[in-house]
Amino acid sequence: MTGILLIVVEAWEPAPRRPLVLTAGDRVTVGDRDTEWTAYLWCLGSDGSGGWVPQDFLVMADDGTATVTADYSTVELAVKVGDVVAGYQSAGNWTWCVDQHGRAGWVPNRALSRSTE
């Protein structure tokens, strides 16, 4: 595993929903801000799928739309206490992680601690 080694200190189980997958340059319709994860905005892709996107990944327009600045997926990773994952990118209090089986997704930072290994 490469990346920063992290230990899971709080289990995380994602809500079942179809992920929103975006490519840099995509336009999305922007909705409400998340009340718990305030760095995230609800966005609808051109195919009608929706998901929470960090505002840092968006260039806002005046018409309620935004352009995505980097490839992004709303996939979340299910983890349990004691799992070791590799962290690659952080955004809005979440980290993109890959587990020992090669599964990847976002995990909330509150569920992670730096490994001492």
As a whole number of angstroms, the distance between CA 47 and CA 20 comes to 9
pLDDT in tens, 78-114: 999 999 999 999 998 999 999 999 999 999 999 999 8
- Say which DSSP state 45 is in: -
The residue with tokens 């070791």 is 84
Amino acid symbol at 15: A
What was the pLDDT predicted at 54?
95
Domain boundaries, given as residue ranges, for the chain? 4-14+77-114, 21-73
Q: How confident is the model at residue 1 (pLDDT cuts 50, 70, 90)?
A: low
pLDDT, average across residues 65-80: 96
Q: Which residue is listed with tokens 């983890």? A: 79
Angle at CA of residue 40, ends 82 and 21, nearest 5°: 80
pLDDT-derived band at 116 (thresholds 50, 70, 90) equals low
- 97 forms beta bridges with 87, 105
Helix (H, G, I), strand (E, B) or coil at 109: helix
Residues in CB range of 115: below 8 A, 6 or more apart: 5, 6, 7, 84
For domain 4-14+77-114, the CATH architecture is Roll (2.30)
| Full DSSP string of 28-65 | EEEEEEPSSSTTEEEEE-TTS-EEEEEGGGEEE-TTSE
Rounded Cα distance, 39 and 93, in Å: 8
According to the model, what pLDDT value does residue 75 have? 95
